[in-house]
Structure 1
């Protein structure tokens, strides 16, 4: 028979407890992901689920999608390390980088984000150009949206149209799909939104194009990206980047994720790609 002294027994118990606590700490490590709410919460969650499962396998840890109420909350979450990874528009990346004093790093973007565009839509047949928007009620998306506000506003100003002075009323729907709904329902006479969301609605038959139509498409610009805080170790950043770069439509999982993300593939990106967005924001008076 093997006997233990009280001190030896205590040491064994303490060692087991420490091992158990260490295991629990490891098991409880959660990688948090968020995204700007540029579409309805249900749509964002639907798009996020397969991606979170994929990242969990790639990173070998639990990955959870953490929704936020507005664009500002997404900016603050990553700037203050409340989340590990965030899906930003070009403007929210600029805001987050400004807010954190240069500590946000964009890792990847969709190939489509290298030449992104916005569209202006209406149901009014008399509205054919940007000039025709004068005296009308016009909706943007969120005030912090790149494709739903900043770039449409920038190109309006380039056309010598000042929304505050020339529109009858400005509305902010909060999201691209909400802008389409507002225009289709006649709540506003025109709206500006992401060309990606517009094209998806047309493809899915969610909008009657015999009534709602595009009157203007902006020139291209850099937009969305997946960003992290530079406090994240470089090795972990590279692992996340590679996980996105590895996505391919040649596998069922990759095909599903890319289709949900409206992407053909992901490509590396850098802060330099968003200098134009920053300059546009300052020019439009949206970034001091």
Structure 2
């Protein structure tokens, strides 16, 4: 007995198989149709959203895909979000990048940083005229920013320790404000004698007139260190990673639209970066017992 298959049946079968192949081949890239972006909450959520909006619109045009900003509640959530594939790209501080790198077994890649992030700095501020140097902080109340902040905690702590000041034993009381602008508010409002924050936020608040330099002054500015960067997971499609990098590097301060983006990011340009740049941050974190 012979069995014949009609031409129509064969065409139908081929069409079904072809459709299945197309569907399967599209599945791996489906998650990349939306780029999920976040940032460590070192400033208020509204400020982070305001800063990212034009950058997000720019990236959408360059990438040809939707870009969503997903705010997180704390620094740890930004690390877990990227490591656990809930986020695709995150604006990390140097320490949070190191945490993500360690948590992911080196499966997180820093793409770009601002030019300023090669030699970033922290400032120690106070309203007290008798506090003029780090040693004057002994016996005083003090606030860091977030516990996971590079420029608001880790590096200020390392410079205090280098000056033979142990915050836990040599200061009257230490606190964590949670964000750089909150540190300024705590110092200006007299809640603590002094505090430390990143120099970029300090200069922005001065420029905006949100802090009175006659009342709050800088008592110490740290030496430079590597800090912030935009990072992605190592499993991101290489073509998308390359497009992202090129998009950041193409921003030109001489182009009015690009200048708006760069001004909000508080830089004149982005430059490439690499994981090795943050080895000193990792060493400082291990020395301070802050890296688990």
* TM-score scaled by length of structure 2: 0.90
- Of 232-241 and 255-264, more deviation after overlay is shown by 232-241
Runs of at least 4 residues off by over 2 Å: 21-29
After superposition, residues 236-247 of structure 1 pair within 5 angstroms as 236-247=240-251
Q: For the residues of structure 2 that align with 1:115 and 1:197, how far apart are their CA atoms?
A: 15
Q: For the residues of structure 1 that align with 2:68 and 2:238, how far apart are their CA atoms?
A: 21
**What CA deviation, in whole Å up to 9, does each residue of 1:151-196 have, x standing for no partner?**
0000000000000001111110100000001111111110100000
Match in the other structure for 1:62: 66
1:126, distance to aligned residue in structure 2 (A): 1.1
Match in the other structure for 1:3: none
Match in the other structure for 2:155: 151
Match in the other structure for 2:39: 35
> SS of 2:247's equivalent?
helix
CA distance 1:27–1:237, shift in 2 (3 Å): closer
1:108, distance to aligned residue in structure 2 (A): 0.3
**What CA deviation, in whole Å up to 9, does each residue of 1:79-116 have, x standing for no partner?**
11111110000000000000101111000000000000
Q: For the residues of structure 1 that align with 2:204 and 2:254, how far apart are their CA atoms?
A: 22
Q: For the residues of structure 1 that align with 2:140 and 2:152, how far apart are their CA atoms?
A: 17
CA distance 1:233–1:256, shift in 2 (3 Å): same
Q: For the residues of structure 1 that align with 2:74 and 2:172, how far apart are their CA atoms?
A: 26
1:14, distance to aligned residue in structure 2 (A): 7.9
1:233, distance to aligned residue in structure 2 (A): 1.9
Residue 257 (1) aligns with residue 253 (2): no
1:29, distance to aligned residue in structure 2 (A): 2.4
Task: Structure 2: give runs of 5+ residues left out of the alignment.
Answer: 1-7
Q: For the residues of structure 1 that align with 2:152 and 2:253, how far apart are their CA atoms?
A: 28
Indicate which of 153, 162, 168 corresponds to 1:164. Answer: 168
Indicate which of 126, 133, 147 corresponds to 2:130. Answer: 126
Q: For the residues of structure 2 that align with 1:197 and 1:135, how far apart are their CA atoms?
A: 27
> SS of 1:82's equivalent?
coil
Indicate which of 78, 83, 98 corresponds to 2:82. Answer: 78
Match in the other structure for 1:284: 288
Q: For the residues of structure 1 that align with 2:218 and 2:269, how far apart are their CA atoms?
A: 27
Match in the other structure for 1:95: 99
**What CA deviation, in whole Å up to 9, does each residue of 1:171-224 have, x standing for no partner?**
101000000011111111101000000011111111001000000000100000
* TM-score scaled by length of structure 1: 0.92
Q: For the residues of structure 2 that align with 1:27 and 1:90, how far apart are their CA atoms?
A: 27
> SS of 2:165's equivalent?
coil
After superposition, residues 107-126 of structure 1 pair within 5 angstroms as 107-126=111-130
Give the length in aligned residue pairs: 284
Match in the other structure for 2:198: 194
1:62, distance to aligned residue in structure 2 (A): 0.4
Q: For the residues of structure 1 that align with 2:131 and 2:279, how far apart are their CA atoms?
A: 33
Indicate which of 180, 183, 186 corresponds to 1:179. Answer: 183
Q: For the residues of structure 1 that align with 2:71 and 2:209, how far apart are their CA atoms?
A: 27
Q: For the residues of structure 2 that align with 1:239 and 1:246, how far apart are their CA atoms?
A: 10
